[in-house]
Protein backbone atom coordinates (compact mmCIF):
# COMPACT_ATOMS: atom_id res chain seq x y z
CA UNK A 1 0.00 0.00 0.00
CA UNK A 2 1.41 3.36 -1.05
CA UNK A 3 0.46 6.45 0.94
CA UNK A 4 0.40 9.76 -0.91
CA UNK A 5 0.82 13.15 0.66
CA UNK A 6 -0.82 16.02 -1.18
CA UNK A 7 2.14 18.32 -1.76
CA UNK A 8 0.74 21.37 -3.52
CA UNK A 9 1.22 23.64 -0.53
CA UNK A 10 1.49 23.59 3.25
CA UNK A 11 2.85 21.23 5.90
CA UNK A 12 3.31 18.10 3.79
CA UNK A 13 6.96 17.33 4.63
CA UNK A 14 6.24 16.63 8.31
CA UNK A 15 3.43 14.25 7.33
CA UNK A 16 5.91 12.37 5.16
CA UNK A 17 8.30 12.21 8.11
CA UNK A 18 5.55 10.83 10.38
CA UNK A 19 4.60 8.17 7.83
CA UNK A 20 8.24 7.29 7.19
CA UNK A 21 8.79 6.84 10.92
CA UNK A 22 6.13 4.12 10.70
CA UNK A 23 8.00 2.44 7.86
CA UNK A 24 5.60 3.60 5.14
CA UNK A 25 6.66 4.37 1.59
CA UNK A 26 5.21 7.77 0.74
CA UNK A 27 4.78 9.66 -2.50
CA UNK A 28 4.31 13.40 -2.94
CA UNK A 29 1.20 14.01 -5.01
CA UNK A 30 1.12 17.06 -7.28
CA UNK A 31 -0.21 15.60 -10.53
CA UNK A 32 -3.00 13.26 -11.64
CA UNK A 33 -0.35 10.68 -12.63
CA UNK A 34 1.08 10.69 -9.09
CA UNK A 35 -2.42 10.41 -7.63
CA UNK A 36 -2.96 7.27 -9.71
CA UNK A 37 0.07 5.68 -7.97
CA UNK A 38 -1.29 5.92 -4.42
CA UNK A 39 -3.79 3.90 -2.39
CA UNK A 40 -4.52 6.50 0.28
CA UNK A 41 -3.86 10.22 0.68
CA UNK A 42 -2.96 12.59 3.50
CA UNK A 43 -4.12 16.17 2.93
CA UNK A 44 -2.02 18.54 5.04
CA UNK A 45 -2.60 21.84 6.76
CA UNK A 46 -1.76 25.06 5.00
CA UNK A 47 -4.18 27.43 3.37
CA UNK A 48 -7.36 25.84 2.08
CA UNK A 49 -8.17 28.64 -0.37
CA UNK A 50 -4.72 28.34 -1.97
CA UNK A 51 -4.91 24.55 -1.98
CA UNK A 52 -8.35 24.69 -3.59
CA UNK A 53 -6.99 26.95 -6.33
CA UNK A 54 -3.90 24.78 -6.88
CA UNK A 55 -6.05 21.63 -7.00
CA UNK A 56 -7.97 23.18 -9.88
CA UNK A 57 -4.95 24.56 -11.79
CA UNK A 58 -3.01 21.28 -11.41
CA UNK A 59 -6.07 19.41 -12.74
CA UNK A 60 -6.10 17.29 -9.60
CA UNK A 61 -9.48 18.38 -8.29
CA UNK A 62 -11.69 16.18 -10.49
CA UNK A 63 -9.60 12.98 -10.35
CA UNK A 64 -9.15 13.35 -6.60
CA UNK A 65 -12.88 13.94 -6.17
CA UNK A 66 -13.51 10.71 -8.09
CA UNK A 67 -11.00 8.68 -6.09
CA UNK A 68 -12.51 9.89 -2.81
CA UNK A 69 -16.02 9.07 -4.09
CA UNK A 70 -14.75 5.58 -5.02
CA UNK A 71 -13.59 5.04 -1.44
CA UNK A 72 -9.90 5.94 -1.37
CA UNK A 73 -8.94 6.51 2.30
CA UNK A 74 -8.03 10.10 3.12
CA UNK A 75 -6.78 11.88 6.22
CA UNK A 76 -7.24 15.66 6.11
CA UNK A 77 -5.65 17.86 8.74
CA UNK A 78 -6.54 21.51 9.33
CA UNK A 79 -6.79 22.98 5.80
CA UNK A 80 -7.10 19.35 4.65
CA UNK A 81 -10.13 18.99 6.91
CA UNK A 82 -11.69 22.07 5.32
CA UNK A 83 -11.17 20.54 1.87
CA UNK A 84 -12.99 17.35 2.91
CA UNK A 85 -15.97 19.01 4.65
CA UNK A 86 -19.46 19.23 3.20
CA UNK A 87 -19.95 22.79 4.48
CA UNK A 88 -17.29 25.48 4.70
CA UNK A 89 -18.29 28.59 6.63
CA UNK A 90 -16.33 31.82 6.20
CA UNK A 91 -14.66 30.34 3.13
CA UNK A 92 -13.91 32.26 0.00
CA UNK A 93 -16.84 32.14 -2.41
CA UNK A 94 -14.75 30.37 -5.05
CA UNK A 95 -13.25 27.88 -2.59
CA UNK A 96 -14.11 24.28 -3.40
CA UNK A 97 -14.35 21.21 -1.19
CA UNK A 98 -14.83 17.48 -1.73
CA UNK A 99 -17.84 17.07 0.61
CA UNK A 100 -16.44 13.71 1.75
CA UNK A 101 -17.53 13.93 5.40
CA UNK A 102 -20.72 15.49 6.70
CA UNK A 103 -19.37 18.29 8.86
CA UNK A 104 -19.71 22.06 8.83
CA UNK A 105 -16.44 23.82 9.61
CA UNK A 106 -15.74 27.49 10.13
CA UNK A 107 -12.40 28.65 8.75
CA UNK A 108 -10.24 30.28 11.42
CA UNK A 109 -13.16 29.57 13.75
CA UNK A 110 -11.18 29.71 17.01
CA UNK A 111 -10.92 33.49 16.77
CA UNK A 112 -8.02 35.79 16.41
CA UNK A 113 -6.87 35.99 20.04
CA UNK A 114 -6.29 32.26 20.24
CA UNK A 115 -5.79 31.52 16.59
CA UNK A 116 -2.92 29.25 17.57
CA UNK A 117 -2.84 27.12 20.72
CA UNK A 118 -1.72 23.74 21.98
CA UNK A 119 -3.50 21.36 24.28
CA UNK A 120 -3.60 17.70 25.27
CA UNK A 121 -6.68 15.88 24.06
CA UNK A 122 -8.10 12.45 24.83
CA UNK A 123 -8.55 10.39 21.68
CA UNK A 124 -10.77 7.31 21.35
CA UNK A 125 -8.52 4.28 20.99
CA UNK A 126 -5.35 5.92 22.39
CA UNK A 127 -4.23 5.12 25.93
CA UNK A 128 -2.41 8.40 26.50
CA UNK A 129 -3.51 11.94 25.53
CA UNK A 130 -2.34 13.41 22.25
CA UNK A 131 -0.63 16.80 22.19
CA UNK A 132 -2.61 18.77 19.61
CA UNK A 133 -1.32 21.93 17.92
CA UNK A 134 -4.02 24.19 16.49
CA UNK A 135 -2.90 26.83 13.99
CA UNK A 136 -5.61 29.14 12.69
CA UNK A 137 -7.67 26.01 12.92
CA UNK A 138 -11.11 25.35 11.50
CA UNK A 139 -13.81 24.94 14.14
CA UNK A 140 -16.35 22.18 13.65
CA UNK A 141 -19.84 23.65 14.02
CA UNK A 142 -21.91 20.56 13.30
CA UNK A 143 -21.47 16.89 12.44
CA UNK A 144 -23.84 14.56 10.61
CA UNK A 145 -25.33 11.50 12.30
CA UNK A 146 -22.98 9.12 10.45
CA UNK A 147 -19.87 10.92 11.62
CA UNK A 148 -17.90 9.32 14.43
CA UNK A 149 -16.28 11.90 16.73
CA UNK A 150 -12.95 10.53 18.00
CA UNK A 151 -11.83 13.54 20.06
CA UNK A 152 -13.23 16.81 21.33
CA UNK A 153 -11.76 19.95 22.78
CA UNK A 154 -14.08 21.87 25.10
CA UNK A 155 -17.06 20.07 23.66
CA UNK A 156 -16.14 20.76 20.03
CA UNK A 157 -15.18 17.83 17.78
CA UNK A 158 -11.53 18.07 16.67
CA UNK A 159 -10.95 14.56 15.27
CA UNK A 160 -13.63 12.70 13.36
CA UNK A 161 -14.16 9.92 10.93
CA UNK A 162 -16.71 8.72 8.42
CA UNK A 163 -15.67 5.33 7.06
CA UNK A 164 -12.21 5.80 5.55
CA UNK A 165 -12.39 9.61 5.66
CA UNK A 166 -10.54 11.00 8.69
CA UNK A 167 -10.27 14.67 9.62
CA UNK A 168 -8.45 16.61 12.34
CA UNK A 169 -8.72 20.34 12.97
CA UNK A 170 -5.21 20.33 14.47
CA UNK A 171 -1.74 19.39 13.14
CA UNK A 172 -0.90 15.80 14.21
CA UNK A 173 2.33 15.85 12.20
CA UNK A 174 4.15 18.54 14.20
CA UNK A 175 4.92 16.84 17.48
CA UNK A 176 6.89 13.75 16.49
CA UNK A 177 3.99 11.58 17.67
CA UNK A 178 2.81 9.35 14.82
CA UNK A 179 0.01 7.58 16.73
CA UNK A 180 -2.78 9.18 14.71
CA UNK A 181 -1.06 8.34 11.43
CA UNK A 182 -0.69 4.79 12.75
CA UNK A 183 -4.37 4.66 13.73
CA UNK A 184 -5.38 5.90 10.26
CA UNK A 185 -3.25 3.24 8.58
CA UNK A 186 -4.46 0.51 10.89
CA UNK A 187 -8.12 1.28 10.33
CA UNK A 188 -7.83 1.42 6.53
CA UNK A 189 -5.97 -1.91 6.45
CA UNK A 190 -8.72 -3.77 8.27
Return the ∠ at Cα 57 (arms to 115 and 1), rounded to 5°. Answer: 80
Interaction of residue 97 with ligand GLN, rule CB under 6 A: no
Smallest gap, in angstroms, from Cβ of residue 161 to ligand GLN?
A: 19
Smallest gap, in angstroms, from Cβ of residue 34 to ligand GLN?
A: 22
Catalytic-role residue among 15, 16, 153, 171: 171
Nearer to ligand GLN, 57 or 189 (CB): 57
Count of residues that bind ligand GLN according to CB under 6 A: 11
Q: Which of 5, 38, 82, 183 binds ligand GLN (CB under 6 A)?
A: 82
Nearer to ligand GLN, 4 or 45 (CB): 45
Q: Which x/- pattern, by CB under 6 A, does the window 12-51 give for ligand GLN?
A: ---------------------------------xxxx---
Interaction of residue 151 with ligand GLN, rule CB under 6 A: no
CA distance 32 to 95: 20
CA atoms within 13 A on the CB side of 2: 11
Q: Which of 35, 135, 160, 185 binds ligand GLN (CB under 6 A)?
A: 135
User: Is residue 70 among the annotated active site residues?
Assistant: no
CB 38 within 8 A of CB 16: no
Smallest gap, in angstroms, from Cβ of residue 58 to ligand GLN?
A: 17
Backbone angles phi, psi at 28, to 5 degrees: -75, 130
User: Is residue 152 among the annotated active site residues?
Assistant: no
Contacts within 8 Å (CB) and 24+ apart, 120-126: 121/151, 121/152, 121/153, 121/158, 121/159, 121/170, 122/151, 123/150, 123/151, 123/159, 123/179, 123/180, 123/183, 124/150, 124/151, 125/150, 125/183, 126/179, 126/183
Interaction of residue 169 with ligand GLN, rule CB under 6 A: no
Residue ranges in contact with ligand GLN by CB under 6 A: 45-48, 78-79, 82, 107-108, 135-136
Amino acid sequence: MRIGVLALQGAFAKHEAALSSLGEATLQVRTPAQLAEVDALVMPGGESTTMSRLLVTSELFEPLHERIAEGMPVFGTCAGMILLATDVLDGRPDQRSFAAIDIAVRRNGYGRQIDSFETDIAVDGLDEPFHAVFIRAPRVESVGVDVEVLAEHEGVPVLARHGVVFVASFHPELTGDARLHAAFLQSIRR
